[in-house]
């Protein structure tokens, strides 16, 4: 028998993989049948509302909830803070009240009496001088290579500039929150989370119950962007309120709290000196950058600047600023967007100073691209330049038109790790030919459910309707959190392995039943089992050989699984043609091109959506 290896079918031979496949849950979402955490409303559900701090820094002198307890409809009250506790940012949670209706909870919050001793605060993330004066700065290390000072002295052109991108908020469409319901010591949590498998323990410990008592469910989710990995103090509070009231409780952050406490991306500001020789080759990078990740300081990692280049002489230093603002959370490819903006805007300004074209300048410096990606970027730049018609549209810097509206081109490069996230799944093939998979992953709105269905349907030669995807429960086989762009790699790899393992076992039974020499050459396609063009049997006939128990196989994925199903380390190039109204600041984008390493595309429609989403997000980054 020929060796059996896990592999993907060639895209040209695939029935579903790589095609435009609409989301299998699209209709459910568009019609409202899909229930998000914010929709869960089991019988008797109470609604919790939050009192948050109006002060950025304060000490609590007293909290009095006695009057609130007597308000109509109030069933339970949870205190996040007590007398003597300190407030470190506006929006810190003080009190949660669960009541029969949202309005009653709001009314009760209004009679909570809190006395504060206000304290000095600092919130200016961009002004390093004021931050230092306020004693809010902390050196977070340096990173140096070569001899920067010597290189600067001998450089043909030196440019110094100030660059920065501000803190931005995750602002998930569905706010953070949960619905908690107890049955004895068992806790059912509907949680808006990117981390179904990883959150039961986070509930169990503070509630002093076993993790096995907790079931976390997230059937649908309205976005997380890296901010929904934890149970969070408001999730624990929801469970406590529910236990105290003896009723289910739903607690979702309101929009203001979502903005203030549920996650931010750190800011990054930099004083950059960059130099090149007369040919345009960068000979030195010297930067000090600062920013905030909230009260804890922090910011953009010093070890990754410049990006995605490693110049021969470089020096970077980082200063963190402690601001009285909500804490940061992981944000789409942290902290690559900031690194990209800081490095490549400075590079483009140096090109302008040298009167070089941006394309030629970047091309000349691809030799410094990390991981020897220069040749890849070079090809990507050619593709992008053709798509945006760079040669025809390019004009030297500063010559974008006589009127106030200036038009020009820009480009940037990026990289990301990616790869396969940890995932285990159980695939069941039933005797009647139906197929389902179980995994404790979650679809955060990115099409995970559809990707898995495509993988299974392609493997078994079935239509998408022939497979069922069960995810979003912590009782399913453990799967990693959805973050870092590793979910598709993880879930598709694991399901492909489990499905191929099952298929091979089915092929063996078919070969035996139909007295074939071996199972070699058997394929599952179009609902049949074929050998070459010869139909051996139908899929259902093949599955009937499995007996009443059917067949159950396991699949796994992780960064360590190196069998060729997934790869990592991607790069890409983006180019934009836009106009800036220099009298009003209005930016108008005429064309935006993205050339991106994608690896195997499972669903081209979803892949395109992902790229479009990234482009839109990039526009928001640069204009915020």
Cβ-based nearer residue to another protein, 34 or 615: 615
State the nearest-atom distance from the C-beta of 583 to another protein, in Å. 4
The pair of three-digit structure tokens given for residue 486, joined into one six-digit string: 């590793």
State the nearest-atom distance from the C-beta of 52 to another protein, in Å. 12
SS (H, E, C) 295-334: CCCCCCCHHHCCCCECCCCEEEEEEEECCCCCCCCCCCCC
State the nearest-atom distance from the C-beta of 398 to another protein, in Å. 15
Tell the residue number behind the tokens 């989370």, with chain if given: 193
Cβ-based nearer residue to another protein, 49 or 228: 49
The span from the CA of 355 to the CA of 320, in Å, is 35
Considering only 586, 590, 608, 613, the residue that binds another protein (CB under 8 A) is 586
Contacting range for another protein; rule: CB under 8 A; set: 245-253, 344-352, 541-549, 584-592:
584-592
Q: Residue 556's beta-bridge partner residues?
A: 424
For residue 140, whether the previous peptide bond is cis, meaning omega lies within 30 degrees of 0, is no
The span from the CA of 93 to the CA of 87, in Å, is 9
State the nearest-atom distance from the C-beta of 117 to another protein, in Å. 15
Helix (H, G, I), strand (E, B) or coil at 353: helix
Cβ-based nearer residue to another protein, 400 or 527: 400
Considering only 579, 580, 597, 617, the residue that binds another protein (CB under 8 A) is 579
If one asks whether residue 613 binds another protein (CB under 8 A), the answer comes out as no
Contacting range for another protein; rule: CB under 8 A; set: 148-156, 379-387, 583-591, 606-614:
583-591
Tell the residue number behind the tokens 């089992």, with chain if given: 529
Site for another protein in 368-427 (CB under 8 A): 401-405, 407
The pair of three-digit structure tokens given for residue 49, joined into one six-digit string: 């509302």
Cβ-based nearer residue to another protein, 27 or 256: 256
DSSP notation for 255-291: HHHHHHHS-EEPPEEEEEEEEE-TTS-EEEEEEEEEE
Site for another protein in 52-111 (CB under 8 A): 103, 106
State the nearest-atom distance from the C-beta of 546 to another protein, in Å. 55
- Residues recorded for the chain: 624
The answer to whether 518 and 499 have CB atoms below 8 angstroms apart is no
State the nearest-atom distance from the C-beta of 322 to another protein, in Å. 20
**Residues in contact with another protein, total (CB under 8 A)?**
14
If one asks whether residue 120 binds another protein (CB under 8 A), the answer comes out as no
If one asks whether residue 585 binds another protein (CB under 8 A), the answer comes out as yes
CA atoms within 13 A on the CB side of 50: 27
The span from the CA of 533 to the CA of 528, in Å, is 11
Cβ-based nearer residue to another protein, 26 or 401: 401
State the nearest-atom distance from the C-beta of 254 to another protein, in Å. 10
Cβ-based nearer residue to another protein, 402 or 533: 402
The span from the CA of 452 to the CA of 441, in Å, is 11
Helix (H, G, I), strand (E, B) or coil at 599: coil
Cβ-based nearer residue to another protein, 97 or 536: 97
Phi-psi label, residue 270: left if phi above 0, alpha if psi -120 to 50, beta otherwise? beta
If one asks whether residue 584 binds another protein (CB under 8 A), the answer comes out as yes
State the nearest-atom distance from the C-beta of 621 to another protein, in Å. 15
Contact positions vs another protein (CB under 8 A): 103, 106, 401-405, 407, 579, 581, 583-586
């Amino acid at each position: 028998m020929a060796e059996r290896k896990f592999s993907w079918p060639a895209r040209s031979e695939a029935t579903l993989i790589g095609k435009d496949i609409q989301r299998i849950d699209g209709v459910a979402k568009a019609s409202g049948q899909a229930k998000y955490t914010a929709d869960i409303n089991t019988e008797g559900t109470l609604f919790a509302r939050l009192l948050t701090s109006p002060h950025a820094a304060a000490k609590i002198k007293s909290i009095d909830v006695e009057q609130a307890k007597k308000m109509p409809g109030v069933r339970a009250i949870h205190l996040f803070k007590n007398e003597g506790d300190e407030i470190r940012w506006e929006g810190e949670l003080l009190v949660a009240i669960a009541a029969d209706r949202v309005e009653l909870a709001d009314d009760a919050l209004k009679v909570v009496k809190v006395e504060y001793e206000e304290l000095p605060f600092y919130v200016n993330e961009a002004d390093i001088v004021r931050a230092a004066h306020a004693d809010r700065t902390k050196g977070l290390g340096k990173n140096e290579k070569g001899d920067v000072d010597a290189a600067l002295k001998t450089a043909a052109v030196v440019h110094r500039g100030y660059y920065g991108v501000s803190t931005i908020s995750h602002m998930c469409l569905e706010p953070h929150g949960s619905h908690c319901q107890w049955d004895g010591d068992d806790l059912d949590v509907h949680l808006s989370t990117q981390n179904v498998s990883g959150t039961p323990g986070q509930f169990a410990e503070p509630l002093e119950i076993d993790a096995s008592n907790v079931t976390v469910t997230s059937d649908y989710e309205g976005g997380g962007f890296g901010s929904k990995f934890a149970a969070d103090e408001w999730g624990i509070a929801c469970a406590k309120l529910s236990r105290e009231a003896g009723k289910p409780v739903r607690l979702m952050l309101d929009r203001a709290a979502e903005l203030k406490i549920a996650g931010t991306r750190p800011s990054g500001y930099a004083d950059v000196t960059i130099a090149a020789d007369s040919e345009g080759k960068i000979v030195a990078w010297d930067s000090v950058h600062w920013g905030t990740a909230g009260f804890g300081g922090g910011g953009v990692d010093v070890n990754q600047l410049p990006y995605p280049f490693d110049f021969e002489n470089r020096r970077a230093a980082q200063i963190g600023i402690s601001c009285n603002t909500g804490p940061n959370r992981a944000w789409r490819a942290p902290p690559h967007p900031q690194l990209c903006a800081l490095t490549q805007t400075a590079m483009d300004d140096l090109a302008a100073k040298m009167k070089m074209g941006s394309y030629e300048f970047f091309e000349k410096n691809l030799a410094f691209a990390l991981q020897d990606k220069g040749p890849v970027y070079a090809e990507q730049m050619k593709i992008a330049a053709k798509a945006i018609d760079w040669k025809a549209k390019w004009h030297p810097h500063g010559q974008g038109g006589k009127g106030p509206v200036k038009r020009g081109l820009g480009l940037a490069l990026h990289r990301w790790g990616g790869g396969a996230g940890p995932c285990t799944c159980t695939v069941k093939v039933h005797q009647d030919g139906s197929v389902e998979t179980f995994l404790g992953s979650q679809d955060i709105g990115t099409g995970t459910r559809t990707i898995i269905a495509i993988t299974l349907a392609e493997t078994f030669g079935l239509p998408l309707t022939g497979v069922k995807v069960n995810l979003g429960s912590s009782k399913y086989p453990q799967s990693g959190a959805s973050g870092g762009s590793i979910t598709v790699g993880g879930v598709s790899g694991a399901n492909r392995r489990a499905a191929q393992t099952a298929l091979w076992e089915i092929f063996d039974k078919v070969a035996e039943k139909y007295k074939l020499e071996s199972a070699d050459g058997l394929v599952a396609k179009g609902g049949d089992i074929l050998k070459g063009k010869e139909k051996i049997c139908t899929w259902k006939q093949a599955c009937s050989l499995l007996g009443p128990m059917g067949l159950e196989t396991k699949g796994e994925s992780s960064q360590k699984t190196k069998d060729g199903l997934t790869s990592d380390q991607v790069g890409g190039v983006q180019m934009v043609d836009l106009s800036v109204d220099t009298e009003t600041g209005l930016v108008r984008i005429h064309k935006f091109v993205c050339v991106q390493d994608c690896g195997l595309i499972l669903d081209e429609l979803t892949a395109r959506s992902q790229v479009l989403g990234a482009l839109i997000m990039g526009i928001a980054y640069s204009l915020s």
